Amino acid sequence: MLMQELIHMTVDHYYIERGLARGGMSEVYLARDQHNGQIVAMKVVRRSAGEYYERFRREARAMGNLHHPHILPSLDFGDYDQWSYLVMPYIEYGTLTRRIQEGPMPMEEAGHVLEQIAGALQFAHEHGILHRDIKASNVLLRDGHYAYLTDFGLVKSIEDEYSLTRSGFLIGTPEYMAPELVENAATPASDIYALGILLYQMVTGTVPFKGTNPVNIVMKHLRDAPPRPTNFNKDIVPDVERVILQTIEKDPMRRFHTARALSNAFYHAYRVDAPPVPIPNLLNLTTSQQPSVQIMPVSQRKSTSLGMSQLRNIPKSLWIIGVTVLVLVLLIFLISTLTHKTGQELPIKPHVTATAVTKQPAVTAMVITRQPGATGQQKTIQQTSKHQMKHAPKPLHQ
């Protein structure tokens, strides 16, 4: 077997010490770089493996082109005799599978891992690359906390119509496969579905669909509703459950459109002290038509609904003080307004006119008389001097 065949051999300048894992047609070994003494992981596949060899080369190219803090980097790639090899950093802790086997992860821990993997997947999608095999065993944890997305063996360009899928077979891991992959090509939405299954697994300790064979599992993805995460973990709050179930909707248009949107929605769902943020509600709408829906933490919704009851609980004495102050403020405002208006009207005397100073007093006055025979007793105004007023006959009142 390949595992035994390469142990204690030197491939190029890497001395292989022991085997680490086996999967498909590839093997992973622990090796030592004889140039610098660094311990590395070396993935090896036979060059005669046909389709698997092609996948291996695609993975090597993808890892060489995707430089992200949470994508496991490629240190070296080459051919040696009948093998091709890919050299990567050795992550001692192991895979996310090991952590999940210890039990459901607390929301904050799951959110921390999700943020890192979602960031790596978002980066790959933005560079036109689909992963197509998101699962717990393809996430490595350094020191149990720092996450790397790895194993791009099924990587595919978003624009590439060419597929390495053999006729009659499905590519990927059945427990994480989006239902549309039965008939359609992979898309970013199918990667996000797999990420949603992984999130479900992190917080519950199990995947939603299991079966006796791959076909049975895939059929469950197609037709069965996933069990509610709260069936496995009672600590999951409704907002968190809603985010998870939206991510694994069978209709791709109802899922989150990006890995980052999923990560942000999950963070604001489990952090009850965090402000709500808009998340997409993808109900058969195009990207440009997506409305924004807010996830309001449960604690915040309760405080909003209790607003009126809190007002009714204010002591009566405080109500009296408040009303008194309000009345005083209104009185002061009214008095100030009246005083202002009075001060403007006092200087205005429309019945007094000023004349130029002459030798005789020229003070004028208005005498109001009633003209006999005038309709409606029309009033006339006569202007007369002070001297004329003295000798003028008094008007008769009819």
**Which residues are known catalytic residues?**
133
First to last CA, the chain: 141
Given a contact cutoff of 8 angstroms between Cβ atoms, the answer to whether 256 and 192 are in contact is yes
**Residue in this structure with the two tokens 């309001």, named with its chain if needed:** 296
**Residue in this structure with the two tokens 């579905």, named with its chain if needed:** 193
Rounded CA separation 171/154 (Å):
8
Given a contact cutoff of 8 angstroms between Cβ atoms, the answer to whether 73 and 63 are in contact is yes
- The total of other beta-carbon atoms located within 10 Å of residue 129's CB is 23
Q: Which of 133, 130, 191, 190 is nearest to 159 (CA)?
A: 130
Rounded CA separation 71/198 (Å):
17
Q: Can you read off the two tokens belonging to residue 365?
A: 């006055």
Q: Can you read off the two tokens belonging to residue 127?
A: 């560079």
Given a contact cutoff of 8 angstroms between Cβ atoms, the answer to whether 380 and 372 are in contact is no
Which 3 state secondary structure label does DSSP give 6?
helix
